[in-house]
Amino acid sequence: MSSIVLGVGASHSTLMNTHWDQVVHTDRAEAFRDGLAAARDRIAEARPDVVLVVGSNHFRGFWLDLIPSFTLGVGEVIAAGEAGTPKGPQHADPAFAQELAAELVGGGIDVAISARLQIDHGQSHAIQYLLDGIDVPVVPLVVNVFATPLPTTTRCAQVGEAIAAAVERIGGDRRVVVIASGGLSHQLPWPSDWTTPDGEDEEFLVEAWLNGRGEWERFDQRRREIIVAAQPCIFTDFDERFLADLERGELRPYAELTTEQIAEQAGNGGQEIRTWLVMAAALGFRAGKALAYAEMPEWLTGMSVAVIDATEGNA
């Protein structure tokens, strides 16, 4: 019987790679980076045989022509490599991924599969920092958090619980770490609803989201210019409350929030807390530990790192 031994939640931002020299709040940036390093050490100590990376996709692997709510990479995993993140084929575990997919479907979760999944910084940022120097295969689970309608937070929790049950049914005594990549609060200069873009920038972004398959690089320079020019909007109160609830093992109520409520309380980028809910549910909503929190306007995001140890607390 395989088992989940550790959960990690970590924010991502490519601006961390490309705009470090422009950081004003250097102490905060370093605190977040140190938190990533501490989480990386916890992962190494957990001795995983495979890492399930639950993350979003920023329209470099999925486009508006087809976006499932949940997609599991069951074959090749290829990183887009934007903004200094890993690029090219990643170390994967197709056999475990295929078994996990079969168990999830058998357990009532109709997860989509991809035998050649392109991921972007929504997952490769975690690979870059949290798995640095750790030779372990990854299995990506991509959650749609940007193209409405989004999967409900309730469904995300159900998927996490189903992952825990599925892993236990898989033989081989594998030790599994679950990483959630994304969040916390931030407001991206993206249309809140792709069907009603407002202004030239949003119209351009929707065009990129629709027509980017196979040529996302053609849209990337202007898209990045739009993002870098955005005014930061971070909801620190939400972030601190979310992390406090994680430490108390009380994240389950967040699985009742609607898309509109999350947008109001944590911005459109806050929709990425869905990945944290998948991870926390897979760990039985145990109490965890926040390793770092940094309000980073330079990166447009409330950046956090936290861990949930399967050997601590009660499910």
Local confidence band at 201 (pLDDT 50, 70, 90 cut-offs): very high
Query: Which of 12, 58, 125, 186 is labelled catalytic?
Result: 186
Q: What is the mean pLDDT of the chain?
A: 95
The 10 Å CB-count burial string (b at 16+, else e) for 51-70 is bbbbbbbbbbbbbbeebbbb
Answer yes or no: is 104 within a domain. Answer: yes
- Average confidence (pLDDT) over 90-118: 97
Answer yes or no: is 15 within a domain. Answer: no
DSSP element (H, E) containing 205 = helix 200-211
Structural domain harbouring 112: 26-188+230-309
The CATH number covering residue 277 comes to: 3.40.830.10
- Dump pLDDT digits (tens) for 236-266: 999 999 999 999 999 999 999 999 999 999 9
Percent of the chain predicted with pLDDT > 70 = 99
Local confidence band at 313 (pLDDT 50, 70, 90 cut-offs): low
Q: What is the pLDDT of residue 308?
A: 98
For residue 70, the SS3 value is strand
Answer yes or no: is 203 within a domain. Answer: no
Residue 25 is a catalytic residue:
no
Residue 12 is a catalytic residue:
no
Query: Which of 12, 58, 121, 125 is labelled catalytic?
Result: 121
- Average confidence (pLDDT) over 115-127: 96
Question: From CA 279, how far away is CA 156, in angstroms rounded?
Answer: 9
Q: Is it the case that residue 314 has pLDDT exceeding 70?
A: no
- Average confidence (pLDDT) over 136-140: 98
Q: Is it the case that residue 287 has pLDDT exceeding 50?
A: yes
Q: Is it the case that residue 51 has pLDDT exceeding 50?
A: yes
Q: What is the pLDDT of residue 189?
A: 86
Answer yes or no: is 65 within a domain. Answer: yes
Answer yes or no: is 137 within a domain. Answer: yes
Q: Is it the case that residue 315 has pLDDT exceeding 80?
A: no
Q: What is the pLDDT of residue 9?
A: 98
Question: From CA 315, how far away is CA 313, in angstroms rounded?
Answer: 7
Question: From CA 75, how far away is CA 175, in angstroms rounded?
Answer: 20
- Average confidence (pLDDT) over 215-238: 90
Question: From CA 71, how far away is CA 112, in angstroms rounded?
Answer: 5
Answer yes or no: is 99 within a domain. Answer: yes
- Average confidence (pLDDT) over 263-290: 97
Local confidence band at 129 (pLDDT 50, 70, 90 cut-offs): very high
Q: Report how many domains make up the chain.
A: 1
Answer yes or no: is 220 within a domain. Answer: no
Answer yes or no: is 174 within a domain. Answer: yes
Nearest to 78 by CA among 123, 116, 112, 52: 116
